[in-house]
Amino acid sequence: MKIKSVIKLGFTAAISASLIACNSGTEQSQDKQTSAVAEAQPKAQTKPNILWIITDDQRPDSVSYYNQQVFGSKNSPLGHVESPNIDKLASEGVLFTKAFTNSPVCGPSRGSMATGRYPFRNGHYAFELTHQAPDFVTPTVSQTLREHGYGTSVFGKEDAYIFKWGPGQGFHDANLFDYKVHFKHDLQKNGLGDLFVKASYDHSSGTPVMAGLTENVIYPDGTKRSYFLKRQNEELTAQDIAEKNKTAKEFDLLRAYTRYQKDLILAGENPQPADKAVDAYIVKEMQNYLNNADNAFTTSWGKAATGADSAKPQFVQLGFHLPHSPVLPPKEFRDRFKDKVYDIPKFEKSELEYLPKQLRTIYNAMKVDEMTYAEKQKAIQDYYAFCAYGDYLIGKAVETFKAYSEARNQEYLIIYTVGDHGWHLGEQGIEAKFGPWVQSVENAAIIVSSDKSLVPAGKVVTDLVEFVDFAPTVLAAAGVDIQQDKFNYLDGYNLIDVMNDNAPKRDYVLGELNLVGGPRAYLHTERFRFSMRTRPFNGLVNAERLGKDVKWALETTAEEAEMSLYDLKIDPLERRNLAYDPAYKGLANWFRNKLGNIVLGDGRIEVDWSKENSYHISTFAKGADDKVANIPPHLIP
């Protein structure tokens, strides 16, 4: 069931007018930008400027305001956190405490946010390079906003893995935004950043050949070091190992020890001070773009650019890389957390006995339970310190965006997605995401508006919401009439309507991914957490598999479906899988049919992305996604 809605309060006249005309004539300031934001004359802009902030791998319990509302304490259940700027932002608007990602990994999560579609309805389950050639594809939020008169820009990590179809030498930039600054391709590539890993290629034959992975260190004075972490066809050299050890000692690094995550940095000190780490440059470039509206400027790496077109309302997407690994808070932030003592999440290896193979695979790939107590403390300390650094940068970004809008007498809307998914700090024995557990998939969201009749201050919403809700929320805020039939593809609700109780109640949230353990989907209600394998093979769909055995997960044995079921009433930390417990057998089978019919038969799309227009849509259970649980009472122990 797809519910469409429009914002019914605030911006009302603006939205009505915007459906007729993009913008009225405006008088622009001719003053040059000499401070944070230049003085500008009032403008008759009929649409709000929109800032959408997305962090990467951020747990909601890194935000004190969230903890206060959910746990009754400013600290995380694990211990100390700092978030004064995010706390202030949350107090100015509405906090959604149960915002669930639709895939616990960046590519498909961001793909669902950008399109407003579940992974099983946009054919994006992992790190596939998707493209917009197939005829089922719908536009992204930024593309639709551009059509409705917005200037669009993105800074930092965008990475929805949506490209323009080749053919030939790979996929091409899909031009999803008018202006783009990418943390890898613009900042790190041009020597701005701190410590990062990148692929290395051998060009000696004329055709680039993958040579391996290099780790790159950039120091405050601009000097750099680079060495291989992995060589494609040979062992590491003694020099490689020496350089790697030097970096580990110099920056007090803690690396993962499993084969899958080998060398992933889980803790350490940033080589750069707070104003020179890569995330700082992400914010600087956003500031440069807004502070130099209508004027030419030079980017941090010396490229000529032009600032925002103030004749248009602005849609700015700010994608932080932090607190994604490498977890490297700058020294001034790290030092504040060094002496904090955290509660280590409880985990015992006996819990693995109840897990199906898929979930044991995730544990084996991401486990940290064999680390020492001191190492576990360091990992948690540095993670929350990195989040505190993010809070500092978010404060700077929000201040700049508000100043840009206020100087022009323009309304604004700010959406902050607290993590594109979650992150485990020892729960289930892992430090990672990729799982169906709550630490991987439950996040939070904040919406703030300059128009308090639209979004009042200090409101908290505890309804289940999903990341597919961001697209209709942004579009409706921009005055787009999403009640039109052409927007029937949107899977989510407008969050303003959810806040005002004008959207249907949602009994469950959905998600799916195909990484590490293979294809797996989940359905979570307030009390129960259920997940299962969706396809009989690991890896992505290819031409031979396209559309075949789609009902497998519904027809195979219960054991081969590799189910997990947690009852939060008796096990809030999800430590005992009950899917194969005799008392829960009937309930697990009910969830299996409910989830299977939705993700496999209610518009499931599988795509061979190596081709222009090759896909299969499954509709054997059309309408199964009715948002209603209605679990038969006799199945609940």
Q: What is the pLDDT of residues 268-311, one digit of tens each?
A: 999 999 999 999 999 999 999 999 999 999 999 999 999 999 99
In a domain, residue 331? The reply is: yes
User: Does residue 309 share a domain with residue 277?
Assistant: yes
Is the pLDDT at 5 greater than 50, yes or no? no
CA–CA gap between residue 405 and residue 51 (Å, rounded): 11
In a domain, residue 341? The reply is: yes
Q: Which of 231, 251, 269 is the last residue of a domain?
A: 269
Q: Which of 207, 241, 269 is the last residue of a domain?
A: 269
In a domain, residue 174? The reply is: yes
User: Does residue 468 share a domain with residue 514?
Assistant: no
Show the domain range for 219: 195-269
Is the pLDDT at 168 greater than 90, yes or no? no
In a domain, residue 3? The reply is: no
User: Does residue 120 share a domain with residue 243?
Assistant: no
When pLDDT is cut at 50, 70 and 90, the band that residue 202 belongs to is: confident
Cα separations (Å) of 482 from 5, 176, 281, 436, 557? 7, 20, 35, 31, 42
The encoded tokens of residue 468 equal 């597919």
- The continuous run of DSSP H or E covering 200 comes out as strand 195-202
Least confident of 36-40, 126-130, 334-338, 538-542: 36-40
Q: What is the pLDDT of residues 456-467, one digit of tens each?
A: 999 999 999 999
DSSP tag of 187: I
When pLDDT is cut at 50, 70 and 90, the band that residue 170 belongs to is: low
User: Does residue 405 share a domain with residue 477?
Assistant: yes
- Residue 576: the pLDDT is 97
The encoded tokens of residue 411 equal 């309304």
- Residue 542: the pLDDT is 84
- Residue 459: the pLDDT is 98
Q: Which of 499, 526, 560 is the last residue of a domain?
A: 499
Is the pLDDT at 611 greater than 50, yes or no? yes
User: Does residue 476 share a domain with residue 554?
Assistant: no
> Mutual orientation of helices 373-407 and 278-291 as an angle, nearest 10°?
0
User: Does residue 364 share a domain with residue 462?
Assistant: yes
CA–CA gap between residue 417 and residue 415 (Å, rounded): 6
CATH number at 280 reads 3.40.720.10
Determine the average pLDDT of the residues in 600-604. Answer: 98
User: Does residue 447 share a domain with residue 305?
Assistant: yes
In a domain, residue 1? The reply is: no
Mean pLDDT score across all residues of the chain: 92
* Parallel/antiparallel/unpaired status of strands 412-418 and 442-449: antiparallel
Residue 268 CB partners (closer than 8 Å, separation 6+)? 195, 251, 252, 253, 254, 326, 327, 328, 382
When pLDDT is cut at 50, 70 and 90, the band that residue 169 belongs to is: low
Determine the average pLDDT of the residues in 58-84. Answer: 98
User: Does residue 252 share a domain with residue 161?
Assistant: no
User: Does residue 365 share a domain with residue 439?
Assistant: yes
In a domain, residue 617? The reply is: yes
Cα separations (Å) of 559 from 4, 191, 429, 555, 588? 39, 51, 23, 11, 11
User: Does residue 183 share a domain with residue 94?
Assistant: yes
- Residue 621: the pLDDT is 98
In a domain, residue 452? The reply is: yes
Determine the average pLDDT of the residues in 182-186. Answer: 96
Phi, psi of 379 (to 5 degrees): -60, -40
In a domain, residue 180? The reply is: yes
User: Does residue 56 share a domain with residue 162?
Assistant: yes
Q: What is the pLDDT of residues 372-384, one digit of tens each?
A: 999 999 999 999 9
pTM of the entire predicted model = 0.92
Share of the chain above pLDDT 70, in %: 93
CA–CA gap between residue 35 and residue 75 (Å, rounded): 37
Total domains, the chain: 3
Structural contact between residues 174 and 163, judged by C-beta atoms closer than 8 angstroms: yes
Is the pLDDT at 42 greater than 60, yes or no? no
User: Does residue 347 share a domain with residue 240?
Assistant: no
C-beta atoms surrounding 348 within 10 Å: 10
